[in-house]
A = this chain, B = another copy of it.
Amino acid sequence: MAERFSFVNDWLLRAVRRVAGNPGVRIDLQGRNLPAPAILYRDRAALVRSILGGECGFGDGYANGHVRVDGDLVTVLEEVYRSLRAAHSPTWLERSLKRVRLLAHPNSRAGARRNIHRHYDIGTGFYRLWLDRDLVYTCAYFDDPEMTLEEAQQAKMDLVCRKLGLRSGERVVEAGCGWGSLALHMARNYGVVVRAYNISADQICWARQRAREEEITGRVEFVEDDYRSITGKYDVFVSIGMLEHVGASNYAELGRVIHRAVGASGRGLLHFIGRDRPEPLSPWINQRIFPGAYAPTLAEMLPLLEPWEYSVLDVENLRPHYAHTLQHWLKRYERAYSKVVAQFGEEFARAWHLYLAGSVAAFRAKTLQLFQVLFAGRECAFMPWTRKALYAWPTEAPCAAATF
């Protein structure tokens, strides 16, 4: 039967290749024993699902084993990302439809809680298998590419603190604090008082435990609540890897929250995954991994600062550092793979493998960016004369803030 209708298979394979922009990897049915790199479909049904379901069809097929990849997964996915881009520039209508879809999924408080629960409350044990010691689940900063992941996450936290020019005794509010590593780092090493918000119960619980162990509960407070509930007055606002979960329709409100918290005399830093042009995240990532997430362009995100007259002082694109960070995570994940399978099953393990490898590929293929945006209000005295001091550490003192 398969033999008799092999022309159908060939037609379907050609269709898949065309949809993928004819990448420089083989796309075929399993069992044909072709040399790597290759994407191999188990059968005709898997091929059809991949065509009808687009990226979701491919992702789900990979997770349940109906699609396999021979050769290095990152390299294959990077090639597909590049060929997809080269093959297809979305039309104005397609872009508009994507934006409508995006606005149709606002992250209400309840929705945000559901979305965040799904990703971050898988259990801290899972993330401990492949993140660094401090469970920093955002882009690291490899001052030197040979650094360990642990060192690079410390360097990232120091880079953020130095960009912000933290001074002892200042009050900092953090929106979306993960397992609390940055809040603890700031309180411990920069003498500031931090209040950190997060709607993931598991993460907040972990962070509070660490604060107790380190005996710095007096200088850091973890609040299980939405960023929209931030109260109090602060000198500094910081948010690392939360903007992706905020959703474009809530940027104006985030701007109001920032201004309410730090006013015209405050300053802040936003660190987030971004884009070069407006585009939704991969639908598979949005469905299976990060519900409700969106990576904005700078032009989409910066208007949230405008009504409050915040000056943008510095924007840095750390894209290569995120590719490098993800490669570290991927390597650790692969080492822990059998444990993941034992605890969460094969399908979950394959899905997360695809997500991590696909993310390395996306940053390498430059379809994702990582922006750090530093800003300061009109009445804020902080404005370093140059950025030199950022690169003189750890030998020099924290960067001197030139009042201006």
* Interface of A toward B, CB cutoff 8 Å: 85, 142-143, 145, 276-278, 297-299, 302-303, 305-307, 309-317, 319-320, 323, 364, 366, 369, 371, 378, 383, 385-388, 390-392, 402, 404
Chain A binding surface SS class: mixed
Bound complex: CA of A302 vs CA of B298, how far in Å? Answer: 7
Given A276-B378, A298-B299, A299-B299, 5 further pairs, Cβ under 8 A: A143-B388, A276-B312, A297-B302, A319-B383, A387-B390
Bound complex: CA of A380 vs CA of B157, how far in Å? Answer: 29
| 17 contacting pairs across A/B (C-beta < 8 A) | A142-B385, A143-B388, A276-B309, A276-B310, A278-B306, A297-B302, A298-B298, A299-B306, A311-B319, A311-B366, A311-B369, A312-B371, A313-B317, A314-B317, A319-B404, A391-B391, A391-B392
Smallest CB-CB separation from A369: which chain B residue? B311
A387 / chain B contacts, CB cutoff of 8 Å = 316, 387, 390-391
A306 / chain B contacts, CB cutoff of 8 Å = 276-278, 297, 299
B320 lies within 8 A of A404 (CB): yes
List the 6 closest pairs (A to B, CB-CB), nearest first. A315-B315, A299-B302, A277-B306, A388-B391, A391-B391, A276-B309
Bound complex: CA of A276 vs CA of B305, how far in Å? Answer: 8
A303 / chain B contacts, CB cutoff of 8 Å = 299
